[in-house]
Amino acid sequence: MTLEQLNQRWAIPNLVRFDAGGGNLPRMILSTADAEAHVYLHGAHVSHYQHRGEKPILWMSAKSWYEPGKPIRGGVPVIFPWFGPRAGHPESPNHGFARLRSWKIVAIEPGQNGSVTATLALRSDEQTRAAWPHDFDLHFSLTVGRSLQMALEVRNTGREAFTFDEALHTYFTVGDIRRASVHGLAGASFLGKAEGNARATQGSEPITFTGETDRIYFNTRAACTLEDPVLGRRIVVAKSGSEATVVWNPWITKAKAMPDFGDDEWPGMVCVETVNAMDNAVRLEAGQSHVMTAEIQ
C-alpha cells in the first residue's frame, strides 16, 4: 500500500497517521495524550517511544540501515524464528527473517485511557518456507499510552510441531552505560557470549558494565529494572510468556566492527531483551499458539 492508501485505510485523526520514515519506508505514528511511538511496517519495528515532555526511552542508531532486507538498528527488532546465528546454517541471516520482512496491518483501535493499539501480521509464504520449512502466523500488537505494551503471538498453522526462538530485542537509551545497572536477574544462570560462551550464575549484585556484555539469562520471568542515574530515571521491563532475558552492550571494539552502529554510540545504549531461545526455545504443536509480552514503563 502507498502512504496515501495507508492513511486512507488506517489513519485516525489526532491518534494515528503514516509518513515516510528513514529510507522512505512507511512508518506509523501513534500519538496519544501521554506518549508517541513510531512503528515501521518493515519488521513491525518500533523505532521510537517517548512520554510527552521527557527524553526518548528507546535508542536508535544514527547509522541504522532503512532498507528492505536489512535490519533496523535500535528500537525493538522482532526476532523470529531463530535467535543469533542459526546453528548449521551459515547462509541464514542473524536473528531470523521476521525483522527483514514487511508486515501487514490487521487492526488499529483506540483503547482505554486514551491509548491506541495496533496489530501487525506476518504469515509464512514461499520465501519463509524456503528459509524455514514451517507454516506460521505471527501477530505483533503494541499498545501506546503511559506504558508501551507489546505482545508477539506465534501460531503454528502447519501439520507438524516446530521449535522456535523469539525476542523483543529492545534497545534503551541510557545517559552513560558505565553508570547504568540492570536489576532483576540475581541468581539466574547465564551464558556469556563475550566470556567465551562460558556458563555462570549471576550473584546477588545488579549487572553493571565495564566491557562488552552479551549474556543470555535462562529461566527468568521477573521484571527487570534499568537504573540510569545520569538521566535520572528507572525503566521497568515486565514480561510474560518469556523465559529468557538477554543483556547486551557491544562496547568499543564490537561497535567499531558493526557498519550500522556508530563508533561512539555504545555508551548511550543497552539492550534488555525479552526472549525465548536456546535452553528456553519454544516447541509448538500443530494448531497451537504461544504469546510473549513485554511492558515498558
Show which residues are catalytic.
Answer: 169, 273
Distance (Å, whole) CA 20 – CA 198:
44
Which amino acid type is present at position 120?
L
Q: How far is the CB of 215 from ligand BG6 (least distance, A)?
A: 8
Q: Closest separation between CB of residue 166 and ligand BG6, Å? A: 12
Comparing CB distances to ligand BG6, the nearer of 156 and 213 is 213
- Contacts of residue 95, Cβ cutoff 8 Å, sequence gap at least 6: 71, 77, 79, 82, 83, 84, 167, 169
What is the closest distance, in whole angstroms, from the C-beta atom of residue 291 to ligand BG6 in the complex?
A: 21
Tell me whether residue 30 or residue 294 sits nearer to ligand BG6 (CB atom). Answer: 294
- The residue to which cell 529461566 is assigned: 219
| Residue that is written with C-alpha cell 523505532 in the block | 47
Query: For the chain, first and last CA: distance in Å?
Result: 33
Alpha helices in 11-92 (DSSP H): none
List contacts with ligand BG6 (CB under 6 A). Answer: 71, 84, 94-95, 169, 193, 214, 246, 248, 271, 273
Residues making up the chain, counted from first to last: 297
Q: How far apart are CA 165 and CA 250, in angstroms?
A: 22
Rounded CA-CA distance 5/171 in Å is 31
Q: How far is the CB of 263 from ligand BG6 (least distance, A)?
A: 15
Coil, strand or helix at 176: coil
Which residue in 90, 148, 98 sits closest to 123, CA to CA? 98
What b-and-e string marks burial along 259-293, b requiring 16 or more CB atoms within 10 Å of the CB? ebbeeebbbbbbbbbbbbbeebbbebeeeeebebb
Which DSSP state fits 97? Answer: S
CB-nearer residue toward ligand BG6: 18 or 190: 190
Considering beta carbons, is residue 93 or 114 the nearer one to ligand BG6? Answer: 93
Tell me the closest approach of the beta carbon of residue 269 to ligand BG6, in angstroms. 11
Nearest-approach distance from CB 93 to ligand BG6, in angstroms: 8
| Cell triple for 16 | 494515528
Give which of 228, 187, 232 is closest to 205, Cα–Cα: 187
Beta carbon nearer to ligand BG6, 116 or 224: 224
Cα 257 from Cα 272, distance rounded (Å): 21
User: Which residue's CB is nearer to ligand BG6, number 18 or number 164?
Assistant: 164
